[in-house]
Amino acid sequence: MHDHRRLGRELGLFDTDPLMGAGLPYWLPDGAVVRHTLEEYVRDAERRAGYRHVYSPVLGKRELYELSGHWAHYSEDMYPAMRVGAEEVVLRPSLCPHHALIYRSRARSYRELPLRIAELGAMYRSELSGVLGGLTRVRAIQLNDAHVFCTLDQAVEEARAALELIGRAYADLGISAVRHRLSLPGEGGKYVADPELWRRATALLREVLDGAGVTYEEAEGEAAFYGPKIDVQIADPAGRESTLSTVQIDFHQPERFGLQYVGADGRKHRPVMVHRSVVGSVERAVAHLVEVHGGAFPAWLAPVQLLVLPVGEEQLAEAEALVAAAVAGGLRAEVAGPEEGSLGARVRAGRLVPYQAVIGAREAEAGVVAVRLRDGRRPGALPEAELVRRIGERVAGRGTTLWTD
Ligand SMILES: [Zn+2]
């Protein structure tokens, strides 16, 4: 594995500037491609799984976080409130309170449940500058978040489906979990007090984990302040673990916000809230992808998917035409021409690009290109249109397989 901070700079994915501030990285064009593609993947997977997407603001009134419990239990991770006239507003420490208000914005019937509200939205954490570096400890976080509002009977199935969605995403991204963890409360006033609600939520999460057949460890002191959670753990090159994905069952916030739905019996009931994140923070997910793949991203995520290499000046027009056709076909393609060095040097410089197409005099004459894959395979000469079609198929399938015969 590689250090994402060094590789991120070398590959031109992201960087920092002391004047923008510690823990506030910016994304360069190639990094922005990876991030955008990851975000679109997540939104698409969520749409297919029945989620509806929303946007909600990154600021909220202080009273909102007092109601959610963040003000009392989470304030050391929050930025100070900003006074605006007679109001105080806060950079949000999570998306949950906004989604609870969106649920509460109209009368809900049991027929609408489970109601799955998703958002890729910013949240802010007041990290000390001493622990900041790269994309893993940042002060502004783009979170892949969702909240499923459901009946008690639906909660286990919703949490189970979320865990499955996480597993599928890891396979498509070519990453893997080092362990699953059931995170429980520890000592101290960090957690809301209601032993019965904690006991019920923990029992349901155990049911989810046991049903999924995954082995897991329990960790005291790692729960959210409002409830226990399943944490999907990843490890960095030094073996340091962190949490990428989470699934939580929460009885507490529905109480705090007075959430209701009208049941089949015509009476009002309290929904359960399942909080879940498939890839966690986009920053941490990209950092992990960089480290695991060493910059050789799965083709669908790669900043450049096809590098076209004319052997000499005579094939430059042919190469440019292939790039134009590939771009028109939805691919990310570039020419590396003879002015960038010998053919061997250009092949090496493009070693992280999943597909290379070499065009010499013989290929130009025959209307084909010589195809080289990043993993060393050489599928041989193909007509240009056939190559664009084959790569397009692999990219649309969003898997980790580069080529099938
Ligand atoms: Zn939440």
Q: What is the CATH number of the domain that holds 257?
A: 3.30.930.10
DSSP sequence for 184-214: E--SSTTS---HHHHHHHHHHHHHHHHHHT-
Q: Average pLDDT by consecutive 10-residue portion of the chain (405 residues)?
A: 87 92 93 97 98 98 95 90 96 97 98 98 85 80 97 96 96 94 86 85 94 92 91 90 95 95 98 97 96 95 98 96 97 97 96 97 95 95 96 93 89
What per-residue confidence (pLDDT) applies to 137? 85
Q: Which two tokens stand for residue 323?
A: 């790039």
What per-residue confidence (pLDDT) applies to 183? 94
Residues 286 and 321 in one domain: no
Distance in Å, CA 124 to ligand 1 centroid: 14
Residues 274 and 349 in one domain: no
Distance in Å, CA 240 to ligand 1 centroid: 25
21: region left, alpha or beta (phi > 0 left; psi from -120 to 50 alpha): left
403 within some domain: no
298 within some domain: no
Distance CA 269, CA 39 (A): 35
CA angle 44, 46, 138 (to 5 degrees): 90
> What 3-state DSSP class applies to 148?
strand
Distance in Å, CA 182 to ligand 1 centroid: 17
What residue numbers bound the domain in which 170 lies?
4-293
Q: Terminus-to-terminus CA distance in the chain, angstroms? A: 30
- Nearest Cα residue to 343 out of 326, 359, 323: 359
152 within some domain: yes
Residues 286 and 327 in one domain: no
Distance in Å, CA 346 to ligand 1 centroid: 47
Residue 220, strand partner residues: 184
> The CATH number of the domain where 312 resides is what?
3.40.50.800
176 within some domain: yes
299 within some domain: no
Distance in Å, CA 205 to ligand 1 centroid: 16
Sign of CA dihedral 381, 387, 391, 396: negative
**Of 255, 272, 293, which one is at a domain's C-terminal end?**
293
Residues 117 and 245 in one domain: yes
Residues 281 and 239 in one domain: yes
273 within some domain: yes
**Of 293, 317, 341, which one is at a domain's C-terminal end?**
293
231 within some domain: yes
Distance in Å, CA 52 to ligand 1 centroid: 15
Distance CA 101, CA 244 (A): 26
Residues 226 and 354 in one domain: no
Residues 91 and 208 in one domain: yes
Distance CA 161, CA 113 (A): 15
Q: In the chain, how many domains are there?
A: 2
Residues 283 and 345 in one domain: no
Distance in Å, CA 146 to ligand 1 centroid: 7
Distance in Å, CA 273 to ligand 1 centroid: 8
Residues 269 and 386 in one domain: no
Distance in Å, CA 292 to ligand 1 centroid: 28
Residues 136 and 252 in one domain: yes
Distance in Å, CA 288 to ligand 1 centroid: 22
Distance in Å, CA 94 to ligand 1 centroid: 7
Distance in Å, CA 276 to ligand 1 centroid: 7
- Whole-model pTM: value is 0.94
404 within some domain: no
- Cα atoms in the 13 Å half-sphere on the side-chain side of 295: 20
Residues 281 and 336 in one domain: no
Residues 202 and 256 in one domain: yes
